[in-house]
Amino acid sequence: RHIALHPPSSWTLADYGEGFDETLSALYPGHPEVAELAWLDWTLRAAFNGPDSPELDLAGLAEVDWDRARLVINPTLASRPIITNVALIWQALEDGEADPPPADRLPSEAVLTVWRQGLMPRFQTIEFVELDALALAMRGESFGAICAMLAKSSAGSEAAAAQAGAMLQRWISEAVLVALA
């Protein structure tokens, strides 16, 4: 079905799987995990082949004016809303488990992110508020603007500050954040 609907259009067959998750979604609407697994597989491969990014200069972070700092997000970062435990299934398969968990719906929709850290593609499930923070960063908004957005969606400024700090620490340690502008 995918071949009939999407004849090759690129100079390389490496691009041929693009959109396969959408084909699977149409073919198996009662099994969203199938399309989500296909998207994860495709996106991990794309992240591996994606552009390199600089290593963040950790020594200079103490001097940063965080209210004005603009965060440069890893160019391989991709995201997709998910409704199943696709990340757990993939990890079990990756770990060689004989019995991966059965497909199951999440209690609420989440976001699956994929990026490359060094030479290793990575993935993680995040909440929509973190996706909103990443989107602000990718649009060139300051870290101060990200904190302001979190303060509006959080239970107070202290909770927002803790949330912003935790996100920033993880983004730095996992190479989601690659530079400051």
| Per-residue exposure over 96-106, b if at least 16 CB sit within 10 Å of its own CB, e if not | eeeebeebeee
Q: Which of 71, 57, 60, 61 is nearest to 146 (CA)?
A: 71
- pLDDT tens readout for residues 143-167: 999 999 999 987 778 888 899 999 9
Domain count, the chain: 1
User: What are the tokens at 2?
Assistant: 């995918």
- pLDDT tens readout for residues 90-105: 999 999 999 999 999 9
* 99 Cβ contact partners less than 8 Å away, ≥ 6 residues apart: 92
The whole-angstrom separation of Cα 120 and Cα 112 is 17
Q: List the domain range (segments joined by +) for residue 45.
A: 2-180
* 7 Cβ contact partners less than 8 Å away, ≥ 6 residues apart: none
pLDDT at 87 over 90: yes
